[in-house]
Amino acid sequence: MNAYEDYMKQMAKPMREQLTTEGFDSLETPEEVESYFDKIKDNETTFVVVNSICGCAAGLARPAAVAVATQNDHKPDHSVTVFAGQEREATAKMREYIGQEPSSPSMALFKGKDLVYFMPRLHIEGRHVEEIAMDLKDAFDEHCQ
């Protein structure tokens, strides 16, 4: 690993931990992403956060994701994250499952392997964290019963 990659990993560490300390599993290789989806049952829900170093991830996406995933009455069965710009291959594999234009940060909700909700960066930046959280809450209330 070169000095730049090492520096970026160290910078990203607290950003990753903001999710993993709240129960999100970090999927860091394409094999981990595939293995995860191979094991998921059709009736189980999975909340995915495509994490990023950018400001809208730090000030909006991660706080909203953590708040709703940990406090909402209806919660997904599983919460996972991939880190765009850090684990590029894992992120690319997750984006294959998501099936939308690449966007980071972004958030997705799956029922089994079916995407039932997607929030791209376009619906994150420039909004209030409470608005983002309410959109996630509505998706969880509809699909995570």
Structural domains of the chain sorted by starting position, each given as residue range(s) with its CATH number in brackets: 3-144 (3.40.30.10)
Give tens-digit pLDDT for 13-34.
Answer: 999 999 999 999 999 999 999 9
In angstroms, what CA-CA distances link 59 with 42, 63, 126, 135, 144? 33, 7, 11, 16, 25
Name the pLDDT band for 9 (thresholds 50, 70, 90): confident
Which amino acid does the sequence have at 73? D
- Asked about 144 being catalytic, the answer comes back as no
In angstroms, rounded to a whole number, what is the distance separating the alpha carbons of residues 87 and 101? 18
Asked whether the predicted pLDDT for residue 117 surpasses 90, the reply is: yes
Report the percent of the chain where pLDDT is more than 90.
Answer: 90
User: Rounded to whole angstroms, what are the CA distances from 112 to 6, 18, 29, 117?
Assistant: 35, 25, 20, 12
pLDDT given for residue 60 in this prediction: 96
Active site residue 54: yes
pLDDT at res. 51: 97
Whole-number pLDDT of residue 29: 98
**Mean pLDDT of all residues in 78-104:** 96
What is the C-alpha end-to-end distance of the chain, expressed in Å? 44
Instruction: Starting at the earlier edge strand, list the strands of the sheet with 106-111.
Output: 25-26, 78-83, 45-51, 106-111, 114-119
Residue 1 pLDDT exceeds 80: no
Residue 90 pLDDT: 98
Tokens read off for 30: 């394409």
pTM here is 0.96
Is residue 125's pLDDT more than 90?
Answer: yes
- Residues 90-108 have a mean pLDDT of 97
* Active-site position among 15, 48, 50, 54: 54
Q: Is the pLDDT of residue 84 over 90?
A: yes
Active-site residue, from 8, 12, 56, 67: 56
138 pLDDT above the threshold of 90: yes
